[in-house]
């Protein structure tokens, strides 16, 4: 009896030691996370119930910041615009990057050059390319509109200068900019599909569409799920493209949530209200992500 207890104790001790070692390895990472991410997040949640300008004493105001959002036309515009951006960007990027990946997975001549070309926008500096886009899409004598005019379009869109087209311009830009990155992820996924499956389907007489439909797509499901998750979360965080191309304009037609969060925090110094808007974004992303995880079952390989 005593013997057994002793052995138990020794085992416990060893286990404890092992655990401590493990925790000490995790600690640096976790500490960094706690100080630079978790701490600020908790602080932001608390802050959303306060009125604070960063200097004067904080003042508890309950749910005032949240009720204020209901009547705030700028926040409403930002909310709608963010959702429009996500709905526009996610499917387009997904389809085009998958299409590119399948195309560039074929053994064609100069494949590496094409891959580099499609990846290039992702590597290029956003500030520089946005400036170039603004010139190309300039409503007055920009090349795109000149081409449209010679093709017989009398009244081409005014792109970033038109409140109905500004968001479209930003969606186009974002899709073009990030397509290369997701293409690479899809390429990796494609390379993981074994040749044998294609050979087997060929023996069954499948044409290339059927092969894509019945072999490639199901095999890519986990990758597609990952891409969609990352893409959705990243799209909700849209800020830099808007800042570079339209600064939220014309009017509020491209104002997005992160842009408004920045504005209220560092232009108006209304840190409590800005935290409350962040919570809105947080809940929005959380809901969408939970929804996607629920739908994941349909994505995972059988």
Contact set with other proteins (CB under 8 A): 12, 15-16, 19, 23, 27, 30-31, 34-35, 38-39, 43, 53-56, 71, 73-74, 131, 134-135, 137-142, 158-163, 248-253, 263, 266-269
CB of 140 to other proteins, least distance (A): 4
Task: Please report how close the Cβ of residue 297 comes to other proteins at its closest, in angstroms.
Answer: 31
Using N-to-C axis directions, what is the helix angle for 221-236 and 166-191, rounded to 10°?
A: 150
Instruction: In angstroms, give the least distance from the CB of 237 to other proteins.
Output: 20
CA atoms within 13 Å, Cβ hemisphere of 136: 10
Which residue's CB is nearer to other proteins, number 210 or number 247? Answer: 247
Closer of 88 and 157 to other proteins (Cβ): 157
Specify burial of residue 204 (Cβ count, 10 A radius: 0-12, 13-18, 19+): exposed
Q: How far is the CB of 132 from other proteins (least distance, A)?
A: 11
Q: Among residues 10 and 217, whose Cβ is nearest to other proteins?
A: 10
Q: Which is nearer to other proteins, 218 or 249 (CB)?
A: 249
Q: Which residue, 163 or 211, is less far from other proteins as judged by CB?
A: 163
Is 57 or 110 the residue whose CB approaches other proteins more closely?
57
The residue among 157, 175, 160, 119 whose CA lies nearest residue 244 is 160
Peptide bond into 250 cis (omega under 30): yes
Minimum CB distance to other proteins smaller for 222 or for 249: 249
102 C-beta neighbours (distance < 10 Å), count: 18
**Closest CB 85 distance from other proteins, rounded Å:** 18
């Amino acid at each position: 009896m005593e013997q057994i207890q002793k052995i138990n104790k020794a085992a416990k001790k060893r286990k404890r030691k092992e655990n401590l070692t493990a925790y000490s390895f995790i600690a640096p990472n976790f500490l960094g996370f706690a100080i630079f991410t978790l701490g600020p997040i908790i602080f932001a949640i608390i802050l959303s119930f306060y009125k604070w300008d960063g200097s004067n004493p904080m003042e508890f105001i309950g749910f005032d910041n949240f009720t204020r959002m209901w009547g705030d036309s700028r926040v409403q515009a930002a909310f709608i615009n963010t959702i429009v951006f996500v709905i526009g960007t996610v499917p387009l990027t997904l389809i085009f990057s998958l299409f590119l990946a399948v195309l560039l997975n074929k053994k064609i001549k100069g494949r590496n050059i094409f891959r580099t070309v499609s990846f290039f926008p992702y590597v290029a500096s956003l500030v520089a390319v946005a400036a170039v886009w603004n010139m190309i899409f300039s409503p007055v004598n920009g090349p795109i509109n000149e081409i449209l005019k010679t093709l017989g379009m009398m009244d081409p869109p005014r792109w970033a200068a038109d409140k109905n087209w500004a968001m479209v311009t930003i969606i186009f830009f974002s899709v073009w900019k990030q397509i290369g990155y997701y293409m690479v992820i899809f390429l990796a996924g494609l390379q993981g599909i074994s040749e044998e499956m294609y050979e087997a389907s060929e023996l069954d007489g499948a044409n290339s569409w059927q092969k894509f439909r019945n072999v490639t797509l199901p095999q890519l499901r986990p990758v597609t799920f990952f891409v969609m998750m990352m893409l959705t979360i990243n799209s909700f965080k849209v800020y830099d493209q808007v800042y570079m191309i339209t600064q939220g304009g014309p009017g509020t037609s491209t104002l997005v949530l992160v842009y408004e969060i920045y504005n209220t925090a560092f232009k108006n110094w209304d840190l409590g209200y800005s935290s409350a808007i962040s919570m809105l974004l947080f809940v929005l992303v959380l809901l969408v992500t939970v929804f996607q995880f629920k739908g994941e079952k349909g994505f995972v390989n059988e």
